[in-house]
Chain A
Amino acid sequence: MYKNLIINIDELWLKGKNRKYYFKTLKDHVKIVLKAHAKDEYIKLRNEQQRLVAESEVGFTKEAIASLVKVPGISTVQPAISVEKDKEAILPAIIKKLTEEIGDKKHVTFKVKCKRIDKSFPHNSMDMCREYGHLLLKEFDQLKVDVRKPDIMIDIKVMPENIFISTEKLTATGGLPVRTSGRVVTMISGGFDSPVASFMMSKRGCSQDFIFFYAYPYVGDEVKDKILKICSILGEYQRGCRLYVVPFGEVQNKIAKTCHEEYRTILFRKFMVETANLLADRVKADAILTGDALGQVSSQTMRNLQVVDNFSKRIMLRPLVGFNKLEIIRLSEKIGTHDVSVIPHDDACALFSPKHPVIKADPKYMDEYSIENNLTDMLNQALDDSEVYSIDVLGEVEER
């Protein structure tokens, strides 16, 4: 286990005077994540110029590092060995580490990289790289230098207080720290798209509340279980969030009975967006987030997206609007929601879906229907009757 983590921060260089605020927000998030894994242990977390350095007496578990890598705003995480600020201490530490990594492999390529954050350290970076490269070649017969694509990159960082040696650099989520870009209500379903959309906006720093429209009794617990699993995964990219499971079967039943059949799906969407806005009023969110991709299904034509937008008081965020299905699926694999999304489930929209859904909805009919069928009270009641779950940074779900 590694006792030190060097946490490099993304996009900080883009920031000006608000840099401090971004830095602090991210640091708080990192602290929460590491604390959640450390249980009782005190974790030291300090600023080192543009990065954070975390220290643990016991060492950071693989799980803790995996969680950290998901935190938006972090660009890379380097698990590191710390040695005292003495040139003589470096080589034995590298040899020990390489012995573990090389194991019984016959041929391994490497490169030594050195950076002095503390420029007062008397040996310059180029010299150190050359010297350690040479000494390591003498020590290990299996090693060969490859400066372009080495199997092992030995990264030496001379910090003000100590020297870090690391051989791994894990790419993290990147983007902006959660809570720096406002709050959104995310419309989530059991499919591939909306979880990926959630991830996209997590990495742009949005904190989220999830809303799921539960079409009981047309669908059953297995769909809800699926949503809980998905939100548990998405929760790891968030800094504490909530899921609202809104009973929607009655609303859908009413709409289906009273509207032109071809308008069912788009009217469902319209009332879902309206409900999401009502929730946004309650949780003080600034936008509604959906997984729409242009033209994917009938409710996602340009016209239909526009028609639904007319009923939203808030900006509708659609980060996947220009994505192909396969691109979305690939991303869902990357973020971990794929294996849950792929489980077949009953989808109420598919169940109610008209034979010929409208592709160019008539805004006039939508308006007329909405005036004749003001369901705001019913939607508010559905929100009141919601099951609410809180999800922590480890993805633990708890019913409130």
Chain B
Amino acid sequence: MIYLDHAASTPVKEQAREVLLESLVEDFANPSSAHKLGKMAMKKVEKARVKLLKMLGASKKDQLLFLSSATEANNLVIRGLELAAEDRVHYSLGDHPSTVNPVASLNSRLVAIELLSDGDIDEEKLLASLDENSKLIVLSHVNNQSGNIYQVETLAKKIKVLFPKIHIHVDGVQGFTKVAISLDGSIDTYTISGHKLGAPKGIGALYLKQGVLVEPQLLGGGHEFGLRSSTVNTPLILSLLCAVEVAMTKRVEELVRLKELNSFVRSELLESGFDISFPFPLEKTSPYILSFIFKGVSSDIILRHLEMKQIFVASSSACSSKAKGFNAGFAAMNIDDSLHKFVLRVSFNDSTTKNDLCEFIKEFKETITDIKRIL
């Protein structure tokens, strides 16, 4: 099996699985309990919190909440800021539905962030569009579809110079543990998802800069500083921490290795002689994600042919693969409507090898050749 859909979900790292299993046995007590067992569990959770904050480059005084998913984290910020009708919210339609949809549900004035033809944010236009009423900017660290790395730290600094009170929220799901991030104060909130970095599903985290206030969306026992009631899930939290630690130790070398592999796939596909294009250049994107357009055969047909050969790729974001044809995200990335159904995405992790990719390229070419004979 060759799995090239790590941006949708990636296998749980062995170490993270071991930590999870061990913790499931040992840390069964409720961390909120007053007895020793509970307190011991809470201590582990608090340690994990501090370590994760450190790996985010944040201060100890900042907050980190554990919650169930990135979707929950994004909702908590976007809806929990309780913006007024006259407030302006800036967001990109090219981003993940877990930010786009909560933003769309707001009663505020929505302003779309424009993207350039290479998928990058049109920074000039964004800065020019801000005004006193701008209250929230929602950005991705790395776009899940195009792979574009947005320079969120420098952008946030520029924005804060102009309008210090704007809340800047960054969805870091595809970025954290892969590309560098240092939350040193300009970014207000930052979302992490466990299952995109080698931890299990059902765990995410939200960084909140010191002093940031959000209205809780779940009420109950007042867990997680009163911002997210639900029994604290020690095993998942420890497993998340472990996966992050493992990834961070080799983050830089993986980045270099995958850049080479990504570049290799690009050049091999370009040389194949098929009508393939890469709308998002490698120098602007995370090497973990590679989207390309093969004109002629709908990407879901290719996806299914490849899955028959045990090769798994994505034809669009897994969350919205049911929607046919037009894709608002691609439209925001300036991809012509007629090409949306031809976009394929392959995404990698630290276990992806050159052999896997050679096999993928070989099977891809064979599939296309076979389909082209009859369609």
Contact = CB atoms under 8 A, between A and B. Distances in A.
Given A216-B304, A217-B301, A217-B304, A344 B375 contact: no
B374 A253 contact: yes
Contacts of B300: 220, 346
A217 B307 contact: yes
Interface string A327-357: 0000000000000000010100001100000
A222 B322 contact: yes
A249 to B, nearest CB: 9
Given A217-B304, A217-B308, A352 B374 contact: yes
B375 A257 contact: no
B324 A220 contact: no
Interface string B290-304: 000000001011001
A373 to B, nearest CB: 15
Contacts of A351: 301, 375
Interface in B169-208: none
B307 A346 contact: no
Interface in A205-262: 216-218, 220, 222, 253, 256-257
A41 to B, nearest CB: 40
A237 B220 CA distance: 50
A376 B300 CA distance: 30
Q: Is the interface of B mostly helix, strand, loop or mixed?
A: helix
A215 to B, nearest CB: 10
B9 to A, nearest CB: 19
Contacts of B370: 253
B373 interface: yes
B305 interface: yes
A256 B370 CA distance: 11
B304 A220 contact: yes
Contacts of A256: 373-374
A352 B371 CA distance: 10
A217 B298 contact: no
Q: Name, among A217, A222, A256, the residue most crowded by chain B CB atoms within 10 Å (CB to CB).
A: A217
Contacts of A352: 374-375
A257 B308 CA distance: 19
Contacts of B322: 222
Interface in B301-326: 301, 304-305, 307-308, 322, 324
A218 B301 contact: yes
A216 B370 CA distance: 15
Nearest to B341: A346
Contacts of B374: 253, 256-257, 352
A217 B299 CA distance: 11
Nearest to B373: A257
B300 to A, nearest CB: 6
A152 B81 CA distance: 57
Contacts of B324: 222, 344
Interface in B261-298: 298
A325 to B, nearest CB: 23
A217 B305 contact: yes
Nearest to B301: A218
A163 B307 CA distance: 66
Contact of A346 (B298, B305, B308): B298
Contacts of A216: 304
A258 B298 CA distance: 23
A216 B301 CA distance: 9
Contacts of A220: 300, 304
A351 B371 CA distance: 11
Contacts of A217: 301, 304-305, 307-308
Q: Name, among B301, B307, B322, the residue most crowded by chain A CB atoms within 10 Å (CB to CB).
A: B301
A344 B300 CA distance: 15
Nearest to B306: A217
A253 B301 CA distance: 13
B155 to A, nearest CB: 39
A217 to B, nearest CB: 3
Nearest to A217: B304
A218 B370 CA distance: 12
A97 B370 CA distance: 70
Contacts of B308: 217
A349 B88 CA distance: 49
A345 to B, nearest CB: 8
Contacts of B304: 216-218, 220
A270 to B, nearest CB: 17
Contacts of A346: 298, 300-301
Contacts of A257: 373-374
Interface in A30-75: none
A385 B126 CA distance: 56
A222 B323 CA distance: 10
A344 B373 CA distance: 26
Contacts of B373: 256-257
Nearest to B374: A256
Contacts of B305: 217
A253 B375 CA distance: 10
Nearest to A254: B374
22 contacts: A217-B301, A217-B304, A217-B305, A217-B308, A218-B301, A218-B304, A220-B300, A220-B304, A222-B322, A222-B324, A253-B370, A253-B374, A256-B373, A257-B373, A257-B374, A344-B324, A346-B300, A346-B301, A351-B301, A351-B375, A352-B374, A352-B375
Given A218-B301, A346-B298, 16 more contacts: A216-B304, A217-B301, A217-B304, A217-B305, A217-B308, A220-B304, A222-B322, A253-B370, A256-B373, A256-B374, A257-B373, A257-B374, A344-B324, A346-B301, A351-B375, A352-B375
Interface of B: 298, 300-301, 304-305, 307-308, 322, 324, 370, 373-375
Which 7 residue pairs across A and B have the least CB separation, nearest first?
A: A217-B304, A256-B374, A217-B305, A217-B308, A220-B300, A220-B304, A218-B301
Interface of A: 216-218, 220, 222, 253, 256-257, 344, 346, 351-352
